Structure 1
Amino acid sequence: MARHLILMDAFKGSISSKEAAEAVASGIQAHDPTATIDYSPVADGGEGTLDVYLALGYEEKTAMTMDLADRPCEIEYAVKDAEAVIEVARICGLPMRRGEDDPVRMNTRGVGRLIAQLRDQGITHIRLALGGTGTTDGGLGLLAEVGCRLHDTMGEPISFHTNPLLETHAIQCPTYPVRLEALVDVTAPYHGPDGPAYLFGPQKGLLPDEVARLDQQLERIGTLLGLENVKGAGAAGGLGGAIYALGGAIVPGAKTILQHLRVAERMKQADYVWTGEGRVDRQSQIGKLPGEVTRMAKVAGVPCLILAGIVEEKMPQALDCRSIHADQPITLDPEQTKIRMQEQACKWLEELSLKQG
């Protein structure tokens, strides 16, 4: 009777982490009805992070704030005692942008507004999952909402008529009275070729000249806030740097979440570990969930298997992890994606059984 630990990331645009794990479990049990299955919703600081904490006993609540274009929006977050978890993409995620929205003007004020509300309610520790945003404002929208003073070249408070990053000439930020923790899946700096404007700006709709202007401002603001050489400061368009400037911590999302789920302990009971995501590429090895799971499996001495919609670059052989991918891209509808994953898992276990036999 084999024991399987399943830790699947969400397949963006298709199925959630929980649905992916259930699909793999179905494939395993179709091949081996006696198999023991252990799975959890997992995430790396982006989509699905809220579901992880809700599964850990946090309570779901709702609040009104505003989206990345300053429109009122109601969002869900999680609370346990005096701790709260915010999935930032639910407030200023790229899918929330509308066709008429100017990508340059998108901002993080709504995130700051929710933080301020939670502070007033007595919350003392806030975890923010930073993946999937549609903003590149250096987190200045957030800073303005939590009490930092942002002034233009005339010494006047900025107007927010455009991206606050382009308006701000001087900034003063006190240490924030709430413990803030940014869960990130990238180590991008606050500015430069590997910073948020150049690395992620084009996929958020920014044109080359806009990318250059915003990066120039990120460099200047980064100097004012002391963000030089801070890894992860560029996460979520610079939101990581803003949280750091408030005295917060930037932590690796995948590693932090897997610790909360006691994955290292659970791996000791497993014969196989399964992981995966929609697209396995170079980024999967750097801060993403599959990379962290494979490293942990290597340490535990447990065979690790990856299921993916698309494999652009396989995991290094040193990680002892085998990758397989769907016959078609992950733009399949959710039900077809689940069926494909069930079939792949079952087929793979059959191959492994034949080899071991």
Structure 2
Amino acid sequence: MINGEWAAVRVVVCPDKFAGTLTAVEAAGAIADGWCAVAPGDELVVRPVADGGPGFVEVLHASLGGELVDVPTTDPLGRPVTGRVLIVGDTAYVESAHACGLHHLAAHERDPKITTTAGLGALVNAAAGAGARRAVIGLGGSGTNDAGAGMLSSLGLIAYDASNVVLLPGGAALRACVDIAGAVRLPAGFELVGASDVDNPLTGPDGASAVFGPQKGAAPADVAVLDAALSHWAALLEQGLPGCPKGLAEMPGGGAAGGLGAAILALGGRIISGIDLVRDQTGLDAALSGADLVITGEGSFDHQSLRGKVIAGVAGAARDLGIPCVVLAGRVTTGRREQGTAGVTEAYSLVDHLGSIDLAMAEPARGLRELASRLARQYSRDAK
């Protein structure tokens, strides 16, 4: 209390997207509206965040400004779409999901044996053409499993089969590769950085095909085919691509976005934490200083959320500063013990609040506003 009045509560609102319903910016706005409806005198710091998946470019543009460049490209099945590249100084931020995202595919079209990352190559080329010296590529939400072979082909590296025919798109075709030719056409010194929410390797039981292939449409038999194909492809890159590191198939982060991480590593790039990058670039850590409460969230708060994703990064930072952290999510399947270990104080589900999955999908903004108003009544000193 200051001069007989309660001091305003400082709340940092920093959710990720609610996949299929709200962007991170929209989710943050709904939470802020709900809080302000009950406690308008409090200080709200709104910092929508992303971990490298869908929304990566939008979140960074909201914080950094810069120039958004529309780029004609193709989706995982080769159909025309428009992607966006964010230019900030000499750095380009690229979202792989703009070209390779699972959201481009209807349920019956999901088949990682044939989907391709070729469209991402157009976005990287556009970044270089705009004068950038570095492309930071958000990795996540992909509908592909071709180890970045499509992207590499768009950049100039071509794969051939035993009949000297260019390979068909997709991860399964890589098992027939016997030779790679050409060279990657990027400016000398151009740097590639992958921003990822996972550290899985390219192959094996924790690899791209086994862990993420099924959610992209891979049947059990497909997983074995794809894993073998990607292992074969990694060996060929080690032999035929100058500068490709040894042990590519086992390198952490290589399995991100269906193996796009491995393609970046093969070109001499590096993989970094997407949420750590966004925390830094959006000034989230500075915003947390002096906060009384942090509200974060995403569509599904599950065990994967606690492995390098937004909630893990935000809650961990809040825990280290001794700040309560509340998660608002479409659904919550984590237990209280693992939530607490990660730094989460409380977690609320839109499904539980609204009463059904259908309502949670249909009216997520309303649900977030209502839950945020409830939190304001609980935490604010200025609640109506």
2:349 to 305, 318, 325: 325
- The code of the aligned residue for 2:339 comes to P
1:346 matches 2:383: no
How far apart, in 1, do the equivalents of 2:315 and 2:304 lie? 14
1:268 matches 2:277: no
User: Alignment identity in percent?
Assistant: 34
Residue 245 to residue 21, structure 1, CA distance change in 2 (3 Å): same
**Gaps (5+ residues) in structure 1?**
none
Residue 121 to residue 39, structure 1, CA distance change in 2 (3 Å): closer
Aligned residue for 2:160?
151
Report how far residue 182 of structure 1 moved: 0.7
Aligned residue for 1:2?
9
1:104 matches 2:113: yes
2:81 to 43, 53, 73: 73
How far apart, in 1, do the equivalents of 2:345 and 2:195 lie? 25
Aligned residue for 2:137?
128
Render the CA deviation track for 1:153-203: whole Å, top value 9, x for unaligned.
Answer: 35x252326644233233468686321111111111101111111111122
Residue 161 to residue 283, structure 1, CA distance change in 2 (3 Å): closer
Aligned residue for 2:3?
none
Report how far residue 53 of structure 1 moved: 2.0
TM-score (norm 1): 0.91
Q: How does 1:124-203 map to 2 (within 5 A)?
A: 124-154=133-163, 156=164, 158-160=166-168, 163=171, 164-171=173-180, 177=188, 178-203=190-215
Aligned residue for 2:40?
33
How far apart, in 2, do the equivalents of 1:247 and 1:201 lie? 25
2:116 match: secondary structure: coil
Residue 214 to residue 103, structure 1, CA distance change in 2 (3 Å): closer
Aligned residues of 1:23 and 1:339 also touching (Cα < 8 A): yes
TM-score (norm 2): 0.85
How far apart, in 1, do the equivalents of 2:275 and 2:10 lie? 23
Report how far residue 149 of structure 1 moved: 4.1
How far apart, in 2, do the equivalents of 1:179 and 1:331 lie? 44
2:333 to 304, 307, 312: 312
**Gaps (5+ residues) in structure 2?**
1-7, 239-245
Report how far residue 152 of structure 1 moved: 2.2
How far apart, in 2, do the equivalents of 1:291 and 1:91 lie? 27
Q: How many residues align?
A: 353
Q: Tell me whether 333-342 or 204-213 shows the greater mean CA deviation.
A: 333-342
How far apart, in 1, do the equivalents of 2:15 and 2:67 lie? 23
- Alpha carbon RMSD of aligned pairs, Å? 2.2
- The code of the aligned residue for 2:291 comes to A
How far apart, in 2, do the equivalents of 1:5 and 1:162 lie? 42
Aligned residue for 2:265?
244
2:230 to 204, 218, 232: 218
1:316 match: secondary structure: helix
Render the CA deviation track for 1:51-92: whole Å, top value 9, x for unaligned.
Answer: 122111121111122221122322222112332111111111
Report how far residue 308 of structure 1 moved: 1.0
- The code of the aligned residue for 1:116 comes to N
Residue 16 to residue 273, structure 1, CA distance change in 2 (3 Å): same
Residue 100 to residue 313, structure 1, CA distance change in 2 (3 Å): closer
Report how far residue 114 of structure 1 moved: 2.7
- The code of the aligned residue for 1:81 comes to G
Residue 300 to residue 162, structure 1, CA distance change in 2 (3 Å): closer
Render the CA deviation track for 1:217-254: whole Å, top value 9, x for unaligned.
Answer: 11222334331431110011101100110011111101
2:192 match: secondary structure: strand
Render the CA deviation track for 1:119-167: whole Å, top value 9, x for unaligned.
Answer: 244321111111111111111111122122423235x252326644233
- The code of the aligned residue for 2:82 comes to E
1:62 matches 2:70: yes
Moved runs in structure 1, 4+ residues, more than 6 A? 172-175
Aligned residue for 1:283?
304
Residue 249 to residue 26, structure 1, CA distance change in 2 (3 Å): same
